[in-house]
Amino acid sequence: MESNRTPNPVSIETMNTTTEVLYPHAMSMRDSEFPDSILFGSGQHSDSDAPIDTERSFSSSLSLDVVVYLVIAALLAAVWNFSRMEFFQAGDDVGYWLGAAGGTMMLLLFTYPLRKHFGFTRSWGRVKWWFLAHMVLGVGGPLLILLHSTFRVGSLNAAVALYSMLAVAASGVIGRFIYARVNRGLHGEKASLKDLQTRAGLEEAEARSRLAFAPGVETRLIAFEQAELQAQAGWMTYGRQVFWLPVHQWLTYRRCVSDLHRILQAMARQGNWTADDLAKRERNSAKLVAKYLHAVTRVAQFTAYARLFSLWHIAHIPFVYLLLISAVVHVVAVHAY
């Protein structure tokens, strides 16, 4: 193994990140820093010891998704159980006003598109709060209407209205998942692909320079990057990057960590490291690998999620119009007969 290997400058053509940006960052690490002061962090603060913001952000996003979907599932189960108690029926006063409340909440959903797309509404408050209200109404309205119906349909127009509402609600849940990956969280601020690429380039240069003592790991990371960032555009690629890429990322991470464990074990025997020293080096090198893989995955998935979000809009809007028309027909029929 070469003890004084000089890190190669990194240029990522598909990311539009210039060598002039990456080269000074990668070369700012001295050869003597591999692997001790970087992987062990002795004597000075190391960036690898700090929390990895992108990984933490990704993990928190997934955690929030799980919480949101668990809450929706719990509310749906509660509404189902309550409707089975038969305290009311759809046609009595309680059922009627539950339906009226749910229908009003569904109508209020249309205030969010007004706030987002019309200039005269810009003084009506921040978009992120409107989006939060949109999500609450989008969950609360359908739940009240399901409670109103007691999960039964008594006529064709009621069935069309109910199933249209369920399609819109399910579509909204899917749209929220995609939206959070095209925008910065739920604040309505569209993420910039160029910003993601630039940030990813710096993270990759850092990881490569600090993992120069493990050329096999570097090669595996570069292969992962090139396979994803130079993949031919198309719906097959987008589908694979959304559904399979996270699994591929995890498998690559496990293989790299396994290789690093073997390499660092050998170095520990040669350098007489303590068990704590070895554990710290393994932990910090694993963080670098995770940071690199997440940067590549984030950039690779951005375009895929953006295209899926456009496709979602095309599929979502017809269901909204169908719901609106069928709801109006249902309300008229209820009051006319």
Gap between the Cα atoms of 17 and 197, Å rounded? 7
The closest of 17, 39, 16 to 209, measured between CA atoms, is 39
Range with the largest mean pLDDT of 14-18, 25-29, 102-106, 253-257: 253-257
Gap between the Cα atoms of 181 and 58, Å rounded? 9
Residue 212 φ then ψ, to 5°: -65, -20
Q: Give the per-residue pLDDT at 199.
A: 57
Gap between the Cα atoms of 286 and 269, Å rounded? 20
More confident residue, 5 or 273: 273
Q: What is the residue extent of each domain of the chain?
A: 55-190+314-336
Across 231-242, average pLDDT: 87
- Most distant CA pair in the chain, distance: 89
Residue 295 exposed, middle or buried by CB count within 10 Å (0-12, 13-18, 19+): buried
Please give the mean pLDDT across all residues of the chain.
75
Q: Where are the alpha helices (DSSP H) in 8-122?
A: 19-27, 53-84, 93-108, 111-117
Q: Give the per-residue pLDDT at 307.
A: 85
Q: Give the per-residue pLDDT at 31.
A: 34
Q: Give the per-residue pLDDT at 201.
A: 56
Residue 112 makes CB contacts below 8 A (sequence gap 6+) with 130, 131, 133, 134
**pTM score:** 0.59
